[in-house]
């Protein structure tokens, strides 16, 4: 296949990729052990491997080609961060609805967000929860965009003119 990526048993694999081993030895046998301990053995000529059904986590690769080489690599789910981002956004929106209901209707006796019951929580507590979730949301979004989160200004120096 044209979408096949040569894999050296050290780089990150994303679920859904099609990989093939980048091993030159014609007698090599490769054993892949998933996070649950299940192993799969591959031998030359290496076929393309579809990683759609793999789970995320740390994998072990064992190469036998006259020598014994053990490496570890990470398999990541590319959708996991987006799912977490959507869950955080939904929780923030739900807290905003509760705050709005408290301010306009005089209060909500109880509600639940993410299976956590909020019984007579003060508006201040709700605001703090919202701020904490917003920090998590912004941190995750910055990580997804390969940017640093937080304040970019580390320090400010002021100079006074002396006459």
Do 60 and 97 fall within a single domain? no
Mean pLDDT score, 37-48: 92
Q: Which domain holds residue 98?
A: 80-144
63 vs 26, more confident: 63
28 vs 109, more confident: 28
Residue 155 lies in a domain: no
Do 49 and 103 fall within a single domain? no
User: What pTM does this model have?
Assistant: 0.56
Residue 150 lies in a domain: no
Do 120 and 70 fall within a single domain? no
- For the cut 60, the answer to whether the pLDDT of residue 58 exceeds it is yes
The string of pLDDT tens digits covering residues 47-57 is: 999 999 999 99
When pLDDT is cut at 50, 70 and 90, the band that residue 144 belongs to is: confident
Do 71 and 14 fall within a single domain? yes
Where residue 63 sits, what CATH number does that domain have?
2.60.40.1930
Do 69 and 10 fall within a single domain? yes
DSSP 11-35: S-EETT-EEEE----TT-EEEEE-T
Do 68 and 11 fall within a single domain? yes
Residue 25 lies in a domain: yes
Give the Cα separation of 87 and 149 in Å (integer).
19
Q: Which residues of 34-64 are buried (b: 16+ CB within 10 A; e: fewer)?
A: eeeeeeeebeeebeebebeebebeebbbbbe
Number of domains in the chain: 2
Q: Mention every residue, 6+ apart, whose C-beta is less than 8 A from residue 27.
A: 44, 65, 66
Residue 159 lies in a domain: no
- For the cut 60, the answer to whether the pLDDT of residue 108 exceeds it is no
Residue 149 lies in a domain: no
Do 122 and 92 fall within a single domain? yes
Mean pLDDT of the chain: 83
Residue at a domain's end among 28, 46, 76: 76
The string of pLDDT tens digits covering residues 62-99 is: 999 888 999 999 999 988 878 888 999 998 898 888 88
Residue 113 lies in a domain: yes
- The enclosing H or E element of 59 equals strand 57-64
Residue 162 lies in a domain: no
């Amino acid at each position: 296949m044209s979408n096949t990526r040569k894999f050296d048993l050290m780089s990150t694999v994303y679920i859904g990729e099609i990989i093939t081993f980048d091993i030159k030895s014609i007698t090599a046998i490769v054993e892949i052990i998933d996070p649950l301990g299940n192993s799969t053995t591959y031998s030359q000529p290496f076929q393309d491997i579809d990683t759609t059904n793999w789970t995320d986590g740390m994998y072990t690769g064992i190469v036998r080609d006259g020598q014994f080489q053990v490496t570890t690599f990470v398999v990541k789910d590319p959708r996991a961060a987006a799912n977490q981002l959507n869950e955080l956004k939904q929780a923030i929106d739900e807290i905003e609805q509760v705050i709005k209901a408290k301010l306009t209707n005089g209060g909500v006796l109880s509600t639940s967000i993410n299976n956590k019951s909020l019984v007579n929580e003060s508006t201040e507590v709700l605001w703090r929860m919202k701020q904490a979730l917003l920090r998590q949301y912004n941190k995750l979004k910055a990580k997804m965009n390969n940017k640093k989160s937080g304040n970019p200004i580390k320090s400010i120096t002021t100079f006074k003119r002396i006459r």
